[in-house]
Amino acid sequence: MRMLKKYGDSLLIKELKASFHFFIKEANTDLKSKGYGLIRDKDMYADDIASIASVGYGLAALVIGVNRNWISYPQAYKRASKTLDTFLNYVEGKNGFYYHFVNIYTGKREWNCEISIIDTAIFICGAILAGEYFRGKIKQKAEELYKKINWEWYRNKENNYFYMGYKPETGFWGHWDMYAEQLMLYILGVASPTHPINKSMYDDIKKEKSTYEGIENIIYTYCGTLFTYQFSHAWIDFRDREDENGIDWFENSKKATIANRIYCIKNKDKYKTFSENSWGLTACVGPNGYSGGYGAMPALADVDEQNDGTVSPCGPAGSIVFTPELSIKALENFYNHYPKLWGKYGFIDGYNLENGEWYSKEVIGIDKGISMMMIENYLSQLLWKQFMKNEYVQKGLEKLKISKKNKEKTTKEMYI
C-alpha cells in the first residue's frame, strides 16, 4: 500500500495520536453512568451531546491505541466491552437503529434528532471492528447488536431505496437514491442473518457519471463533498475490487479526490484559501456554522453556490489512501504555514481566508475519525485487515458481487 517511504510520516503520527486523544478524552468514562463509552459530537458547544458515529470511530481508536501502545489492552478491552453494553441496554432507538445524537450521560435522544441509518452503520462498523480485534465477549456483543438491526424496516418498498431519516413525530423522510457515503449499508444489510435486504437495493441506486478536467467516468455524489467518497472506505478495503458491472469504488474515490483538488486550483483566484496544497472541500465547520454542502465538481448540486472558501484538513487527511503524496503535501502546508489550524486534538475543523483569517474553534468527532482511520490505514492497513476478517462483511461483498479483479486498474498518472 505504501507509496512513500517515511516522507511525512512524523506529521501523520502526530495527527493520528492527537485524533486518538479526542476519542479517549471526550468520552464518558464514569463506570456508574448509563452513558459509559458515549463520545461527544465535538469538543466545544456540546458538553452533554454524544454522537453515535463518534462512538463508532472511538471503537476504532481503541484498536489503534492498543496496536501503537497508547493504551493498554485491558483498558481498551474494558472500555470497548462496556461501551457495547451501553448500546445493548441504554441508548435510545428503534428496530436496532439509534438516534443520531444522544445525551452523553443517559443515552436518551437529544436535539429532537432523527433515528439515523448512516450513523447507526458507522457505529456498528466500529463494533464489528472491535469484535474482530478483541474477540471474545466483544465479538459476541457486536454480533448481537448487528443482528438487532431491521434493515428492511428502513427500506421504502415503493422505490427500493433506504430512507435517509426517521422521526417518530413525522415518520420517514428523504431517500438514499444515488451514490454517496452509504455503501456500507448495502454490505451490512444484504449479509444480515436476521433482517437482510436484497442485492437489488445496491443495484438500484443511481450511479451518475461525469468527466471533469479530463478525468473520465467519475460516479459523483450530490454535493461532490469528499466525505461521501471516504466514509465507507475507512472500514471496507475496496482496493483492487470491482462489482459485476466493472465499478471500482476505490478507484472512483481516487478520481473524485483528484477532481476536488483540481477544482480548488481552478478557483484559487476566486477564493484565497484555495491552492495546489490547500484543498479538501468536505462537510465541516465554516464561518457561518457547520455545512454539509462544501464540495467540488462533478456534482448534482450547484457547488459554486454552496462554497464560501472554507477548506478542512480532514478532506486531504481522509483521502490519504487515495492520493498519498498530494494529501501529505496539503497537510504539511496546513501545519507549516497555518499554525492556528493546529490545536490540542491536532488539526481543527476548517479555515477560511476570505475576510481576514477565520479558524474554527472546534473539532468534530466524525472529522477527526475519518482522518484518524484513513491515516492508520495508509500507514499500516490495520483497520482494513481487522474489519475485512468479519464473516458478514465478506458475505456482503460476495452477495453484492464486489470481488477481487483479475487485473489491476489504476488512474492515469497524468491526473496527478
- Provide the CATH number for the domain around residue 196: 1.50.10.140
The whole-number pLDDT of residue 108 equals 98
Query: Among candidates 5, 147, 51, which has minimal Cα distance to 364?
Result: 51
Residue 232: CB atoms within 10 A of its CB come to 23
Is there a domain that residue 270 lies in?
yes
Give SS3 for 131: helix
The whole-number pLDDT of residue 406 equals 79
- Weakest-pLDDT range from 43-47, 154-158, 400-404: 43-47
Is there a domain that residue 215 lies in?
yes
Is there a domain that residue 411 lies in?
no
Digit-coded pLDDT (tens) for 123-175: 999 999 999 999 999 999 999 999 999 999 999 999 999 999 999 999 999 99
Contact present, 368 and 348 (Cβ < 8 Å): no
Backbone angles phi, psi at 395, to 5 degrees: -65, -40
Distance CA 67, CA 133 (A): 10
The whole-number pLDDT of residue 6 equals 45
Mean pLDDT of 35-45: 96
- What's the pLDDT band for 2 if we cut at 50, 70, 90? very low
Burial annotation 91-117 (CB, 10 A radius, 16+ → b, else e): bebeebbbbbbbbbebbebbeebbbbb
Tally of structural domains, the chain: 1
Using a 10 angstrom Cβ sphere, with 0-12 exposed, 13-18 middle and 19 or more buried, the burial of residue 52 is buried
Distance CA 156, CA 153 (A): 8
Cell of 353: 481566508
Contact present, 218 and 211 (Cβ < 8 Å): yes
Digit-coded pLDDT (tens) for 254-280: 999 999 999 999 999 999 999 999 999
Residue 20 pLDDT > 90:
yes
How far, in Å, are 12, 37, 43, 98, 159 from residue 51 at the CA level?
25, 11, 12, 10, 30
Backbone angles phi, psi at 291, to 5 degrees: -135, 130
Write the CB contacts of 89 (distance below 8 Å, at least 6 apart in sequence): 34
Is there a domain that residue 412 lies in?
no
Contact present, 218 and 173 (Cβ < 8 Å): no
Distance CA 36, CA 85 (A): 9
Is there a domain that residue 197 lies in?
yes
Is there a domain that residue 3 lies in?
no
Distance CA 17, CA 29 (A): 19
The whole-number pLDDT of residue 142 equals 98
Percent of the chain whose predicted confidence (pLDDT) is above 70: 96
Q: What's the predicted TM-score (pTM) here?
A: 0.95
Distance of CA 328 to the CA centre of its chain: 19
Write the CB contacts of 54 (distance below 8 Å, at least 6 apart in sequence): 23, 26, 39, 40, 41, 365, 366, 369
Digit-coded pLDDT (tens) for 283-327: 999 999 999 999 999 999 999 999 999 999 999 999 999 999 999
- What's the pLDDT band for 9 if we cut at 50, 70, 90? confident
Residue 409 pLDDT > 70:
no
Residue 59 pLDDT > 60:
yes
For 294, the domain range is 9-404
Mean pLDDT of 392-411: 85
- What's the pLDDT band for 188 if we cut at 50, 70, 90? very high
What is the dihedral sign for C-alpha 373, 374, 375, 376?
positive
Residue 8 pLDDT > 80:
no
Q: What does DSSP assign to residue 72?
A: -
Using a 10 angstrom Cβ sphere, with 0-12 exposed, 13-18 middle and 19 or more buried, the burial of residue 240 is middle
- What's the pLDDT band for 411 if we cut at 50, 70, 90? very low
Cell 465507507 sits on residue: 232
The whole-number pLDDT of residue 407 equals 60
Is there a domain that residue 208 lies in?
yes
Q: In DSSP terms, which residues pair with 124 in a beta bridge?
A: none
Q: What does DSSP assign to residue 364?
A: B
Digit-coded pLDDT (tens) for 367-377: 999 999 999 99
Query: Among candidates 40, 19, 2, 86, which has minimal Cα distance to 331?
Result: 19
Distance CA 361, CA 189 (A): 37
Give SS3 for 324: helix
Is there a domain that residue 112 lies in?
yes
